[in-house]
Amino acid sequence: MRRPFRQGSLPAVAVLTALLAAGLASPAGASSDDVPAVSVLKPSAVASSAHTVRLVTGDRVVVTGSGVDRQVSFAPDSDSPTGTASILQHGKDITVVPEEARPLLDSGVLDPRLFEVGALIEQGYADGRDLPLIVQNSIASAKSPANSRQVRRLPAIKATAAAVDPEQAQKFWAGLRDKQDGATAKRLADGVRKVWLDGKVTPTLDRSVPQIGAPTAWAAGYDGSGTKVAILDTGIDATHADLSDRIDEARNFSDSADAVDRHGHGTHVASTIAGSGAASGGKYKGVAPGAKLLIGKVLGDNGSGTESGVLAGMDWAAHSGAEVVSMSLGADTYTDGTDPMSQAVNTLTKDTGTLFVIAAGNTGPDAGTVGTPGAADAALTVAAVDDQDKIASFSSRGPRFGDKAMKPDIAAPGVNIVAARAAGTAMGAPAEAGYTSASGTSMATPHVSGAAAILAQEHPDWDAADLKGALMSSARTSGNGGFLEGSGRVDLATAIHAGVWATNASMGTYAQGAVSEPVTRTVTFHNTADKEITLALSGAFSLDGGSEVAGALTLGSTGVTLPAGGSRGVEVTVDPDLATTGGTYTGTITATGEGITAHATVALSRDLPTYKVGLQTLMPDGTAPSSAALSVYDLRKNAPPVRLPVDAAGVANARLKPGRYTILGHLLKSSASVTFVLPDVNVTDHDLAFTADGRKAARVLTKTPKPTEPVGSTVMVGRMSAEQSVGVLAALSGGPGHRYLLPSAAAQDGRLTSTAVESFRSRPISAKVQLPTGHVDLTTQFVGGSGRFEGVRKLTAVDAGFGTAEELAAHDVTGKLALVRLGSESPLTALTRVADAGAAAVMLVNSSDDVLTAGATTKTPMFTVPRSEGDRVLAAVARGRVTVQLTGELTPSYSYQTVNSHKGALPGSWTTAPAQSEFADVLTKDYSPAPAGAGELYSQGSWLGQNTVTGDGAGTFGEVNLGTTQHAYLLAANTTWSRTAYLSGYLSAQPYSSAAASYKPGSRSTQEWFKPVLHAGTPGPGADPSGSAQPYRKGDSMIVTIPKYVTGRSDVYEYGGRNADGDETAFRLYRNGTLLGSAPNAWVAVNNLPQEASQYRIETNAKRNNKWWSVSTEQHTAWNFTSAHVDGDAKAQLPLLQADYHLEGVALDSSVTAGKYHPVSVAFRNPDGTRAALTKGTVEVSYDEGTTWKKVPAVTYKGTVTGVLKAPKGSKGISLRIHGENSAGSSIDQTVIHAVHVR
């Protein structure tokens, strides 16, 4: 599935601003702007890529491309009950929900982020890496579930952090699901209450200290002395003069080696809290320079960490004597405060009395964007203002997501804050030596943390509630509004005199024009003094940014008397009907008397009215769906679509504001599905009702020219209005089944598309039988995981009933074709029992004429047939002896791939019967790189078809045995096709990819996959149209992306910078003979290169030798070239001389015959487009794994060196060593050990 739609022109990649610092650190004290630096590229930093995500369910999702130009293929787990998933794509965001997980997702026991595939890729939870989870149990001592690795205990929330190996995901999910309810379960097994993704957490980034009144506190003798502030961040530069004597203890909870700050964020925060200002003569002094610091490094050197790491740091900090924990970090997860980190804040605050001061986040200016853990009730959540106390545009806003509670709580300066710069880091904008300037709620938070430390020094008996309340009630209101700044900007000069504090309250959200009753809340005033205090009360209520609303706010009393150390509640009533203008309102209740001033804040939101939009959904048989995936999409915005729940009667209800919307989605029941779209839902001033009536839907039915069975399909609908720059695409992908699309009206504007992508294969088992009524070719569907055979078998059919033990005892199935009816028992259980009884093959008769997909793990061949056909065979068996002829093939000999796409209104018919002449015939040869005797291995991949008119497309996974060929018949009209393939079963292996190409109907061509000589290099002409695997220079930076393995002709390549299990790789870059840096792979960015022309050398090494790979086991490559500054935004390909190999006589098992002549040619290629001539080219060969070498006599013609090899008998393999030079001064030296086997 591809991006929905896009308007305008967007840059394909922003590489230089999307780097993940992980390479060489600059020398201590030096600016990283001064020296060349090698850093590892993030996956998202490259224009095109391929990623595999293993979901918690064990299903696999493959995403090719990047940004909004992504295609999605879904490969269900072999034990998946339905093999179906709903896919929702909005821009670069991709969500894939397998149907068996939907009940658990809807019931709230599974974190939605577990299925946000785009985010999983961005966070690095893809491509064979473990899936990190937080598993909450009913008891705190519970261990992590079976088939997962326990990382750490999280006692504050009765949870464990666990990691699931992708290879174990299927077993983990099977153990996690409730056994009683199976696929329909809404709860988890073994006391597990909820499973969250252990998501990434990132930082939420001379005048600000005086701005909050810190000098007044210092003058009064309070600088935080005697207090401890724990900072959970990126670590600390303990050598910085401002902090060298402030650090009491440092702990590392990240995946980095130690607590040293190699990012810069943590040092900046620490300096704002407690920096001495020594390096600036006191100019950049922190808020509480007398406080001691506890450093918990929870964010790694790359600036990110995991939620479980943060939770562990929080637990340590709260139990280590800190009065205040400062957290300038968060996850972009909008929450109602029930997520793991928010829960931990509340629990630890209650248990220890520690105050957690937490950044609100940097996802403003939209409302409801305060993230976790700042959403916690007990957190003192900090917004950011500028030096004029105006709210920063980036500062996250309230109210809190879900329950509309007040957040944030307070504000502080967070724009252009200058503080200490960690040695060797480049965060922010450099200021004076040793300092940097940065903006964010990350910068605002330490101001409040330092202020809290000063109050903790002044009042050592105060707990978290006192500190939080005093800072809020003494804050200076700035007119920004309660949902933007909370109680106001922190005012330490007033706070040090505070003896009374009050709670805040949200008065709710109300629709414009709706009549509402006055609402009353209680705010509580607390007296921390040891004497009774009487205060006068007054109130004011105003439209934020507007005038006061007279009479809207009333108080239950005009004064309050607070007992010594006690509290009293005051009723506050607001009449929403007097707040008529749309917007947010803030009320302030001020208490004064006996030299004390304190205030409480209330807030209210007046929003547009909402109207009910009801939707009744029906399947083609008129019944309600058993499952549904629906979304509502606002056609006026580019915001993500919102999920719409459906009840058991098939009814969905939404309350929507006036505007234009699309409702789109999928209905499912058994093996049938209905995909539909309501292109334009116009909400004005009344309720609406619609019906998605599957009885009117058209079945997707493609008749292939040759006999086939369906492998899978994807149906999708997309919508984008004229107002939008990106649209939404909803797809349903899965195995065989009856897919329907509901006809629709045309869209009022913008674009509306619909597409069906289908995949078929030759039947692994074909069956024919002679019945009294005539010869019958049965409609077979192979049972995945069952046995395969090659050739023809004639078997006597026997009626085995439902395959029960009793029926098998009564009917001998040994050596026969067992006919088994589908009953209430699991097909897997029944089929396994029949196979164990000795059946030679099994035919499973469905209970309907729908397509039945089943799975089994057995060597016995099995297939299913529709009920009508099965009943005829059973009836014949009841009358006498029946012989069924089975024809099998070990691997599909051919496949059909089709795309049927429409623009505009969804049509009323989706039946097609393309002729063979409409297909292109692509002969695919899948060579095997596996060692002899490795057993049956196969490549699992998908042909990705993309319609050139709509831009929509998808792929369906299929399996092909390695060492075989297959004819792929691709429907050619208006479609481009590309293929992505994996060595199946080895998730750590990178995918191999071919370029998207158009084919002419009736054309014939060949593609060779995994063919020797596999070597390091860049794809050849036409194989990489995006240029994503072509190293280049831009300005004074190099982006180096060199695949570890390309096929001999360099037309298919292993994409990505990640190693497979067991790989040993290295990258080194030299300039004029001096090493600039190294990295694990040739997947790097190199910045700050000198402008002048210089001689560079790139070296790469790779070793791979395991149970699924035994060719090109070791290779070494060195490229020498010249490079200089490139002006403007131009990109200049690096002039790396490439070598393309062709060795004749290589069999599909990657071997050549000993004693025979095998011509070999090496074509040297200039990928940068220059016409530099080859000046020298040599080829050497080794028949003893590189111990000895001899030069191959060869001739050179037009850049190609050709010779002949003859491997002596007894040789195990052929190794090659080549050298080439061109007239531009570029050269290549490449050694490939065991390039092919010798047989």
Phi first, then psi: give them for residue 295, nearest 5 degrees. Answer: -105, 120
Query: Are 375 and 407 a contacting pair, CB within 8 Å?
Result: yes
Catalytic residue among 233, 261, 952, 1024: 233
> Comparing C-alpha atoms, which of 659, 519, 538 is closest to residue 579?
519
Which residue carries 């234009």 as its tokens?
Answer: 660
Give the three-class secondary structure for 214. Answer: helix
> Comparing C-alpha atoms, which of 448, 476, 517, 485 is closest to residue 586?
485
> Comparing C-alpha atoms, which of 311, 283, 278, 281 is closest to residue 296?
311
Catalytic residue among 26, 308, 326, 442: 442
Query: Two tokens at 342?
Result: 């928010």
Q: Is 265 a catalytic site residue?
A: yes
Q: Is 389 a catalytic site residue?
A: no
Residues with Cβ < 8 Å from 887, sequence gap 6 or more? 765, 766, 767, 768, 791, 792, 793
Residue 78 sits at the vertex; the CA angle it makes with 49 and 48, to the nearest 5 degrees, is 5
Query: Two tokens at 112?
Result: 């939605």
Query: Are 864 and 854 a contacting pair, CB within 8 Å?
Result: yes
Catalytic residue among 265, 268, 1234, 1237: 265
Give the three-class secondary structure for 683. Answer: strand
| DSSP type of residue 269 | H
Pairing type for strands 1037-1041 and 1083-1087 reads antiparallel
Q: Where are the alpha helices (DSSP H) in 207-366?
A: 208-211, 214-219, 265-274, 307-318, 340-352
Taking the chain, what is the end-to-end CA distance rounded to the nearest angstrom?
A: 43
Q: Where are the beta strands (DSSP E) in 256-291?
A: none
Query: Two tokens at 893?
Result: 């000999």
Give the three-class secondary structure for 32. Answer: coil
Residue 605 Cα distances to 506, 544, 691, angstroms: 9, 10, 33
Residues with Cβ < 8 Å from 592, sequence gap 6 or more? 535, 536, 538
Query: Are 669 and 724 a contacting pair, CB within 8 Å?
Result: no
| DSSP type of residue 335 | -
> Comparing C-alpha atoms, which of 1119, 1107, 1097 is closest to residue 1164?
1119
| Amino acid present at 754 | S
Pairing type for strands 1074-1079 and 371-372 reads unpaired
Q: Where are the beta strands (DSSP E) in 646-737?
A: 651-656, 659-669, 672-683, 688-693, 698-702, 709-720, 728-734
Query: Are 299 and 201 a contacting pair, CB within 8 Å?
Result: yes
DSSP, residue by residue, 1187-1237 = SS-EEPPEEEETTEEEEEEEPPTT--EEEEEEEEEETTS-EEEEEEEEEEE
The order of strands in the sheet holding 894-903 is: 93-98, 84-90, 728-734, 709-720, 751-761, 894-903, 964-971, 919-926, 1004-1009
> Comparing C-alpha atoms, which of 785, 757, 784, 773 is closest to residue 896?
757
Q: Is 670 a catalytic site residue?
A: no
Residue 225 Cα distances to 206, 235, 287, 455, angstroms: 21, 22, 11, 11
> Comparing C-alpha atoms, which of 499, 516, 651, 497 is closest to residue 567?
499
> Comparing C-alpha atoms, which of 617, 729, 615 is closest to residue 673?
617
> Which residues belong to the active site?
233, 265, 442
